[in-house]
Amino acid sequence: MMERRAVLKGLAGLVGFGAFASFFGCRHLGDSEMADDSGRDFSINGRATLRERAAAKGIVYGAACHQRTLFSDTEFAAVFAKECGILVPEGELKWGTLRPDPNSYNFAPADWLVEFAFKNKMLFRGHTLVWHGSMPKWFPDIVTSRNAEKFLCEHIATVVGRYAGRTHSWDVVNEAILPSDGQPGGLRKTPWLNLLGPGYIDIAFRAAKEADPKALLVYNDNGLDFDTPDNEAKRMAVLRTLEQLKSAGTPVHAFGIQAHLEGDRKPFNAVRLRNFLKDVASLDLKILITEMDVIDQKLPADRAVRDRVVAGLYEDYLAAVLDEPAVIAVLTWGLSDKYSWLAKYRSRDDKAPVRPLPLDEKFQRKLSWNAMARIFDMAPRR
């Protein structure tokens, strides 16, 4: 094993790969597939939480959650507050939840989450102001190309303004790029693009900046992690879009990479991912890992094997991304397997419970928790 790491170090030196990531022996510098490595060591020192270990390096760790879960499951809420230094609502700040009708806002669930974060000395991030998902049913009948800008700016001013000064960051625009849609600039065909044209992105960021000058304004997207032609095309399109926004003076401060990772291992090339993040950071942007989980839908039934493969991908991926100093936060999309969106959206054919997150269904630490703890412990301090 040590010999293998020496080889990786040598390779890393060649390709400018950080010492931290190569030290961790990222098992991929090429397009290799990784099988389960039963000898892999996930040991950790001490009992400090992920929140504490990340904070010791100037990194914020946290997770998404639903208000109804934290409200009803007090045992989970206590664990969540211990392990997480930042909270993002999984659905409560989306149009579909916030806007029961064109003239009103349902802020109660999000208000409760902001209060929960404050009481537990956690940071709070907003998700998301502009997205094609979770749109209210009334939207297509009410919003037209004539009133769309007014609707968008009023929504952002009202929602961002309500939590101004108490929000670490906002996913202002989410998943706006999809090269396979064949639109100019690789933009995704969304209601906002149809209504306002490509300028909707700039409009949204400027409205958010006006409503909360202190919040970090983030462009957030997915499908960027693996060494596949579609992920590469998307990385290039995202980079071009961020360059254009920056040169137009759009107040975008950071890039959010969702990191919903497929555990069955499409080729993962740490160097390629690392270089993409370096290019993003060179635009004077911070980077957040915003929605990390490892989808185990197609992994073997054996729980020990599944947990090792999932933990290995957490460690390899985070070793690569935290080698980039511009990466300031890591959030998982949920904290416990019990409440993962994947149980419903990516369930297993064998009906076995999914295991994509750091804590199991009884809120016990798993190998993926260890993997994250090891990475935070070894990460370069920001």
Q: Which residues are catalytic?
A: 175, 291
Contact region with ligand G3I (CB under 6 A), list: 75-83, 90-98, 156-164, 262-270: 90-98
Binders of ligand G3I among residues 102 to 141 (CB under 6 A) are: 133-134
Stretch that binds ligand G3I, among 12-20, 86-94, 185-193, 227-235 (CB under 6 A): 86-94
Q: Output the residue with the shortest Cβ distance to ligand G3I.
A: 341
Q: Does 94 bind ligand G3I (CB under 6 A)?
A: yes
Distance of alpha carbon 49 from its chain centroid, rounded?
20
Query: Whole-number minimum distance, CB 109 to ligand G3I, in Å?
Result: 9
Number of residues engaging ligand G3I in binding (CB under 6 A): 10
Nearer to ligand G3I, 83 or 175 (CB): 175
Helical spans, DSSP H, in 188-292: 191-196, 200-211, 229-247, 270-281
C-alpha distances out from residue 81 to 6, 61, 74, 326, Å: 40, 11, 10, 25
Which residue, 193 or 257, is less far from ligand G3I as judged by CB?
257
Per-residue contact string for residues 289-318; x = within reach of ligand G3I by CB under 6 A = --x---------------------------
Listed residue (206, 174, 209, 171) closest to 190, CA to CA = 174
- Following DSSP, what letter does each residue of 353-376 receive, concatenated? PP--SSB-TTS-B-HHHHHHHHHH
The stretch near ligand G3I (CB under 6 A) out of 88-96, 182-190, 194-202, 348-356 is 88-96
Judged by CB under 6 A, the residue of 90, 212, 225, 323 near ligand G3I is 90
Residue 131 Cβ, how far from ligand G3I at the closest point, in Å?
7
String of b and e for 132-151 (b: at least 16 CB within 10 Å)? beebbeebeeebeeeebbeb
Q: What minimum distance in Å lies between the beta carbon of 69 and ligand G3I?
A: 9
At 9, is the secondary structure helix, strand, or coil? helix
Per DSSP, the three-state class of 220 is strand
- State how far the Cα of 225 lies from the Cα of 232, in Å rounded to an integer: 9
Q: Look up residue 380 and give its DSSP letter.
A: P
Q: Omega into 241 within 30° of 0, i.e. cis?
A: no
Using CB under 6 A, list all residues that contact ligand G3I: 90-91, 94, 133-134, 174, 222, 258, 291, 341
